[in-house]
Structure 1
């Protein structure tokens, strides 16, 4: 029996991969974070499945559920919001499962920032404007950032920034980032993207904090900062230029 860490996407039931749906459907136990997922996602679970909301459980309690279920002969669908490769606590859970001798695997999913970028119809890597995307987070009351990963260092590159766990610190972060990007740099905030309560804010580093405050956003939001969000007059990609096309001989 196996614990399947499954990227459940930004929340909508139709933004799951085919593999994710198959694994959920074959797992008698489904552990999920109720804060981030729509009930439609859980509709893929088999009839009579044990549904465990993890939002009020600590890591040891979650691990206990996973270990107990697999030792009882049941597969477990452990749903992670977005994609398990980013801020999912898979590393901590997998380490505990390894110690317990429990097999596990990972299925990728649609990340929240990708869903937000799709919603506003923007590519985050525009030729000549930004060719890198930095996924990072705010640091105030959470785990300390490793040395060298200060936000100012990332901002100095001019790359498109995707900020997780940052919505409560928008005003401070906007002021810090404006030093590098300028106050008129575009910003997109996506809250509960793909869910019924979806909200997207578009602004600049000068006004986005006021918009976030007015909307009362406190969680389940991603912040995207960078000039790629409003790129004008950019160069064409070399990959698709006529000079790169093969000629007939």
Structure 2
């Protein structure tokens, strides 16, 4: 069956961070259902497609629009913010499309976590500092990890990226302090890659204070871990990938 439905990652906000394939599909689409204010409006301006803002739609309404368009032979792009694989809510849509025998493809995008890391100049996985990255959130309307789970995830050699939980900064701070040192580096990235992006660096013990002072209520990520200060504290940590073989011979 010919694919007529594409789940496309719009990227974190900067319109230049959508993939070439994603941009091409937007230009070719007959119908675009986009994720409201989370998607940069410039991505859908001037296109031939019929536009729907999913912020005002239920799942049933979204599937109805997709189904009708496909049966009319039209190509549909479901445009999600960031990368659809990260908290994109594509699972329930895919279930409905499969039940109707409608073929689909997912086009990955740049997640906000990567955009925030780029703005921070951060490598998540610094040799001998952190080789594990955990992407998580606290449960809310959508059930998910608890503060006890955060305690389980927290380790000195782990980089944590916490989505969709900035309004619970105090709870996060208290949980992580049960396992991590008060001076563990943290960073807040608000609206990564957007013109209004803001970055705040600090220590874990000051997390909730920094959030309150900044006035962040949503669309901000929390980064936690020693990798955040690796460029300062761990300048001698090097990957073996680019190690000079002559050094290995001399000191191996």
Relative to the length of structure 1, the TM-score reads 0.90
2:11 aligns with one of 9, 12, 35 = 9
Q: 1:95-126 CA deviation, whole Å, 9 max, x = no partner? A: 11000111110111101010001011111111
User: 5+ residue gaps in structure 1?
Assistant: none
4+ runs of 1 displaced by more than 4 Å? Answer: 244-247
Shift of 1:162: 0.9
Inter-partner Cα distance in structure 2 for 1:187 and 1:206: 9
Q: Structure 1 residue 236: deviation in Å?
A: 1.2
What is the aligned partner in structure 2 of residue 94 from structure 1?
94
Alignment partners' CA distance in 1, 2:70 and 2:175: 47
5+ residue gaps, structure 2, are none
> What is the distance in 2 between the residues matched to 1:174 and 1:95?
37
**Aligned-pair distance for 1:203?**
1.4
C-alpha separation in 2, matches of 1:98 and 1:210? 46
Q: Give the 3 Å change call, closer, same or farther, for CA 243–180 of structure 1 in structure 2.
A: farther
Counterpart of 2:242 in structure 1 is 240
Give, in angstroms, the shift of residue 72 of structure 1. Answer: 1.8
Task: Say which SS state the counterpart of residue 150 (structure 1) adopts.
Answer: helix
Over the residues paired in the alignment, what is the CA RMSD in angstroms? 2.1
* Contact in 2 for aligned 1:3/1:77 (Cα 8 Å): yes
| SS of corresponding position for 1:206 | helix
Task: Please give the secondary structure, in 2, of the residue aligned with 1:35.
Answer: helix
Is it true that 1:50 corresponds to 2:50 in the alignment? yes
Q: Which moved more, 1:90-99 or 1:49-58?
A: 49-58
Structure 1 range deviating more: 121-130 or 133-142: 133-142
Q: Does 1:164 align with 2:140?
A: no
Partner of 2:33: 31
Q: Give runs of aligned pairs for residues 150-189 of structure 1, distance below 5 A.
A: 150-156=149-155, 158-189=157-188
Q: How many residues were matched structurally?
A: 243
The residue that corresponds to 1:138 in the other structure is 138
Alignment check: 8 A CA contact 2:133 2:159 kept: yes
**Cα 1:157–1:85, aligned 2, differ >3 Å: closer, same or farther?**
farther
What residue is the counterpart of 2:190 in the other structure? 191
Deviations 1:11-32 (A, max 9, x none): 1211111000011111011111
